[in-house]
Amino acid sequence: MSPLETIQPLQWADLATLAPELTLVIAAILISVLDLLLPNKVNRNFTGVLSLAAIAVSLFFVIWKMTGMSAVADAPHAAQVVQLLGQSYRIDDFANLMKILFLSGTGLIVFMSLGSIREDEIQHKGEYYYLLLPAVLGAMIMASSGELITMYVGLELLSITSYVLAGLKKNDLKSNESAFKYLVLGSISSAFILYGMSFLYGMTGMTNVGEIGAVLAGNAANFEILLYVSFFLMLAGFGFKIAVAPFHVWAPDVYEGAPTPVTAFLAVVSKAAGFAILFRIMYNVYFQLLGGPQNNFGEDAFLAVLIVAAIAMIVGNAAALRQRNVKRLLALSGVANAGYMLVPIGVSMISIHASNFSELIFYLFAYLLMNIGAFAVVMAVSRAAGHNDVKGFAGLYYRAPYTAVAMTILLLSFAGIPLTGGFIGKVFIVLGAVQMHAYWIATIMIVTAVISLYYYFGIIRQMYMRSDGEEREIKLTAPLGITIWVCAVATVAIGIFPNFVFQFINHFFSVSFDLFIQ
């Protein structure tokens, strides 16, 4: 029987399953039409409110579906996983948890943008708000994909929309240059990924990642060279998407040139989507090749991920030491943090260490809070100072004490200081590496985290121990101020009570059924 004959067409009942995605599609179309039809004198903040409402409805549907699946106590977990079009699209708790992350991050970014975006930064606010919807939709498709073609469609939807968002400062030559660089390098990285995927299809004749792994597990020795070529092509491509060294050269320029809310989106949602698809492929395709008697490819693949993680930690933190532009500094900090988040993927999993996904999703959540809160502060400070230099934070405590305290909390979390989410996330990742006897990567992680204290505390020193001599007033809109403090308080909350987050993840997530595609 042909594989196509086993695929069931979509039914009307499946539309309820796809409610989170359909909500974003419908909202993006309606808001874009409204934005085109209404006269220019109408304030475009209403498009932001509508986009935020669409994101909230989509998030509600994701949580409703996830809790509904969990409530079916009598059914085996495998029966609760919804598979559409021959597992091209999967609704499982791996995808649901990632979608909650994507939608929460995008919602906070939209919310902090309301009334905070200047005309000289983004001329067409309506475009900014409704373009975020297809971007986060692409991330959601990536998380739910069970086969290569669907993954690539989601990847390109996210990528193309991100290219447009990065270039919204149309009258800024530096922004135009960075957006063009992002477009060219992003297209090359997508080509690398597609070329690597084509090798997997050529070796197996399949696009379903679970079936690819099963076929390669019995025939790896026959395709050893092609396996290496395919893997390193995709690793390079995904390395660009998550901005990990040595594939990170675009990040500082794009982060600096893009509007600050778009930078926050690229730093959080786009990066997390890359990790989602990388995690799914690594454990469905290459994990099954570990311990093979005929070759060492599986071990080499996971070791390569750890080597890239180590390079990212070293390069990102070392480059940030001399950086004076805050947005570029946060970009290089993101490179280092991408290295930290690669560790749970690279150390693999066995019966004594199966918490890789919990470690990754916890740190991603902490990273989301740190970045969105920090970029919200950067928006306010940069507006007052007229530039993005670190010296713009001079004397911030004396001009806006509450904002300075919130930024301090976020920077302490970045640095991995106790009682913050960043500290707990790093500790669990290090413990997982030690449990798998990967002492070398745990050592690099600890040493580079200590090095990062220098540049994070450099900003804190500016806020409390320096003065800019001009006493520029820091003006915060209500959404911007609320976002800053929501992120700061949540960062401390998950640092003090991490078990609530881990229990929530472990209650829903099952390695056997949600991660591995049967």
Place of tokens 């992002």: 182
**Does residue 463 surpass a pLDDT of 90?**
no
Residue 102 within a domain: no
- Per-residue confidence (pLDDT) for residue 446, from 0 to 100: 93
Of residues 356 and 123, the one with the higher pLDDT is: 356
pLDDT tens digits for range 26-58 = 999 999 898 888 777 777 778 888 999 999 999
- Per-residue confidence (pLDDT) for residue 469, from 0 to 100: 59
For the chain, what percent of residues have pLDDT higher than 70?
91
Residue 407 within a domain: yes
Residue 456 within a domain: yes
Residue 189 within a domain: no
Place of tokens 């990285």: 189
Of residues 286 and 405, the one with the higher pLDDT is: 405
Residue 249 within a domain: no
Contact 45, 143 (CB under 8 A): no
- Per-residue confidence (pLDDT) for residue 368, from 0 to 100: 93
- Number of residues that make up the chain: 518
- Per-residue confidence (pLDDT) for residue 171, from 0 to 100: 77
- Among 329, 328, 318, 383, CA closest to 178: 328
Give one DSSP letter per residue of 233-276, joined into a string.
HHHHHHHHHTT-TTS-THHHHHHHHS-HHHHHHIIIIIHHHHHH
By the 10 Å C-beta count (0-12 exposed, 13-18 middle, 19+ buried), 518 is classed as exposed
**Does residue 141 surpass a pLDDT of 70?**
yes
Contact 129, 31 (CB under 8 A): yes
Q: Report the SS3 class of residue 80.
A: helix
- Per-residue confidence (pLDDT) for residue 2, from 0 to 100: 45
Q: What is the pTM of this model?
A: 0.91
Q: Minimum mean pLDDT among 108-117, 165-174, 461-470: which range? A: 461-470
- Region 50-75: mean pLDDT is 81
Give the chain's mean pLDDT: 85
Query: For residue 424, what are the domain limits?
Result: 307-512
pLDDT tens digits for range 288-340 = 776 655 567 778 888 999 999 999 999 999 999 988 889 999 999 999 999 99
Backbone angles phi, psi at 98, to 5 degrees: -65, -40
Residue 503 within a domain: yes
Q: Minimum mean pLDDT among 148-157, 292-301, 329-338, 491-500: which range? A: 292-301
Count of domains forming the chain: 1
Torsion angle defined by CA atoms of residues 357, 363, 364 and 370, in that order, rounded to the nearest 10 degrees: 170
Contact 370, 408 (CB under 8 A): no
- Region 7-23: mean pLDDT is 74
**Does residue 422 surpass a pLDDT of 80?**
yes
Which of 176-180, 314-318, 500-504 has the largest mean confidence? 314-318
- Per-residue confidence (pLDDT) for residue 294, from 0 to 100: 53
Residue 218 within a domain: no
- Region 414-426: mean pLDDT is 91
Residue 412 within a domain: yes
